[in-house]
Amino acid sequence: MAAEKDNNEQNKLNTNPASTEQNVLLNNQKSLCCSTLKMFLAALSFTYFAKAFSGIYMKSSITQIERRFDLSSSTVGIVDGSFEMGNVLVIAVVSYFGAKLHRPRIIAAGCLVMSLGSFVIAMPHFFMGLYKYESTRAHPASSLSNITGSVSPCMANHMPPNMDCGKETNYMWVYILIGNMLRGIGETPINPLGISYIDDFARTENTALYLGFLLALKELACNRLYILLMGFTLLQVNSFIGFITYNPKYMEQQYGQSISRSNFITGVSVLPAAATGIFFGGLIMKKYKFGLLSASKMVLITSFVAFITSLSIFIIGCENHDVAGITVTYNGSKVDPFGESSLFSSCNSECHCSSSRWDPVCGENKITYMSACLVGCKSSSGAGKAVVYHNCLCIESMGFPSANSSVRLGVCPPTDNCASMFVIYIIIQIFATFIYSIGGSASYVIILWSVSPELKSLGIGVYMLLVRTLAGIPAPIYFGALLDKTCLKWGTKFCGGKGACRMYDTESFRNTFHGLRAGIRAPSLILLIWYIFMVKKRTSKKSPENGAQQENGSTKKEEHTEDATKDECAAFEVECM
């Protein structure tokens, strides 16, 4: 009988892929100095680094992609959201069937697909020609940027149109969309399978496989804790994705920073603050052995403090640039940027300038003009970026002597007050990011603790599916669409038509960007408070001794993952049937 029992147990292990996988791993741990689990953890950590690196690079390139292909913010939001679109296509299948197969091999295959997507994203860089910036100086029929003699900008405006315009019309940005989608497909198995794999083999007992796809989904839908937590997470992720996608553009338009400088400052300040916060939060949970209730409270406190801190950004900003014909008149008087304005004046009437070209120059009067032609400049000197336009009539008409009536390329720099505002903005972002990230580890762990062990992988998979579908895809699109409403000057494509926005109204941009984020995050805190109330109510039903043990963290890992699903389904039996 004993032999028969052993054979039955062995047959169960052979028919259970997760048990077989764990059995092999445990045997290897006994024979190897460096366990297979630790090797897997090291490989998974490198995979996380690789996918995070490529994801951050993609986010940092959004503004460049927008201008390179003359796309609106809403369209470039679709390109950015294609990563989540690819993830959504396969995440349900991977999450359900992945636990029944060899999870490390599936993750490795996903890494190969992710790398293929990165190569596809880079293809337009090699296939496209040089970038022709929207500028009279970049016109193929002229070579003003290479001329060192005196040339009138008014003459440049009368150059013949480009006959090869049709050749410049392309849709190479579609390669970026497809490549980003492949990145999303390849990234799919990393989170649900990697985390569940480590969590399974870190346990002392095996966990059962899924009860069946439809039945498992039914149990998740009956779990009020899981549903509340998903609502909180979806709102938070919507706010975060919208922020991380358009924050470089915000720093450029609000504080006059270049995109490269904005990305660099973010990389050396905000990202280390996030990493430090996550690490510090993990140490707190480990030291005090937080249970489900304590971890949930930590998430609420950190989210609330970060939310209140971020509200101060509404009063930290800069005024609009003084742009002649858009925000000020040619005499320097302020005007309503969304009201009627004129780009033409008596000082540039003889030049017959284009009203669509965006080739900004900064005058000695600290006013930005859309082009040297619209300033009425009669001559130029220098070459390339060092070109200077002289004898500009619109500056002379304001009382400046002819010796100081010159303009240089580029938008006028922000005031000193704006520069100090930018420093305060970065400090607030660092502090808010650090505080919020302290609860980052806990917010992910409570998802695991809110479902039964059998539904752990599926719970993470559904979580990722909903986050990608209801946050990752729509957030960049509707954030971009609302930001487009604050545009003051649209660019023009090389062959005509509306291109990317060149200038936004800073106040409207600030209120729309941060107001939308705050409006999304506020109700998420209400859902989290409701979630904590439900957890506390469930804990109070237990005996005082067990409740105290769980709150003090002295219970084992298995007690954290108590089958809440069955309790919730019992309470809502009528609704779930």
Query: Confidence class of residue 212 from pLDDT cuts 50, 70 and 90?
Result: very low
Whole-prediction pTM value? 0.74
Mind listing the pLDDT tens digit for each residue in 381-408?
877 778 888 888 888 777 666 556 788 8
Question: Which residue, 76, 57, 53, is CA-closest to 65?
Answer: 76
Residue 453, amino acid: P
Q: What is the DSSP letter of 128?
A: S
Question: Which residue, 249, 295, 341, is CA-closest to 553?
Answer: 295
Residues forming a β-bridge with 166: none
- C-alpha Rg value of the chain to the nearest Å: 29
Q: What is the DSSP letter of 84?
A: H
Question: Which residue, 494, 257, 168, 166, is CA-closest to 357?
Answer: 494
Q: Across the chain, which distance is largest between two alpha carbons, in Å?
A: 109
In this structure, the number of other CB atoms found within 10 A of the CB of residue 20 comes to: 14
Mind listing the pLDDT tens digit for each residue in 46-80?
887 888 778 878 887 888 888 788 888 888 888 88
Q: Tell me the C-alpha to C-alpha distance, in Å, between residue 78 and each of 49, 66, 475, 499, 515.
A: 25, 11, 9, 16, 22
Say what the pLDDT of residue 134 is. 55
Residue 31, amino acid: S
Report the alpha-carbon distance of residue 266 to residue 278 in Å, rounded.
Answer: 17
Query: Confidence class of residue 563 from pLDDT cuts 50, 70 and 90?
Result: very low
Fold observed for domain 34-160+171-318+417-576: Growth Hormone; Chain: A; (1.20.1250)
Span 98-105, average pLDDT: 76
Q: What is the DSSP letter of 172?
A: T
Q: Which of helix, strand or coil describes residue 138?
A: coil
Report the alpha-carbon distance of residue 99 to residue 298 in Å, rounded.
Answer: 31
Per the CB < 8 A criterion, the answer to whether 240 and 432 are in contact is no
Burial-class residue 513 by CB neighbours within 10 Å (0-12, 13-18, 19+). buried
Domain ranges across the chain:
34-160+171-318+417-576, 319-413
